[in-house]
Amino acid sequence: MINYPLYKSIDDVLALLYEDTAFNHCIMHQHSVGYFPYKHYVNMGFDALEIHIDAGGPSAEQLFNVHKEILSEKPMIIWGDIPETDMDWIFSKLPVEGLAVLTVVDAPERSADLWERYCSSYIPD
């Protein structure tokens, strides 16, 4: 009889199977409304911080100093259903290095429009 080790979950098995190819980084996801302990997370061992732009929460302009502080220490992801005013602010004021912006779109055409407006100038010819 073969004696197989017991695993707590399928995640344990997958981690063992793919340990050489898995994404071995840790990103902390946060919302900017309510309790927002980003200062604690900046000093922890996370590889990047992810900040969600919440409807009814602070705008990108209001979060500017927070974004700059985070980007001075580590990479940052901003994501959500980001209004165009926030997209304009993010792409005109924040440094590009270490920044990823992921916004929700309702159609492929909208994605293409956003790419052309905000991202195409960063791609070399």
Which pLDDT score is estimated for 79?
92
Least confident of 2-6, 10-14, 28-32, 63-67: 2-6
Q: Whole-angstrom distance between the N-terminal and C-terminal Cα of the chain? A: 62
Calculate ∠ Cα 121-124-125, nearest 5°: 105
pLDDT tens-place string over residues 7-23: 566 666 666 776 666 66
HSE-CB of 76 using CA atoms within 13 angstroms: 24
Q: Which amino acid is at 11?
A: D
In angstroms, what CA-CA distances link 42 with 45, 48, 56, 69?
Answer: 8, 8, 24, 9
User: By C-alpha distance, which of 95, 78, 72, 66 is closest to 29?
Assistant: 78
Which pLDDT score is estimated for 9?
66
pLDDT tens-place string over residues 74-83: 999 999 999 9
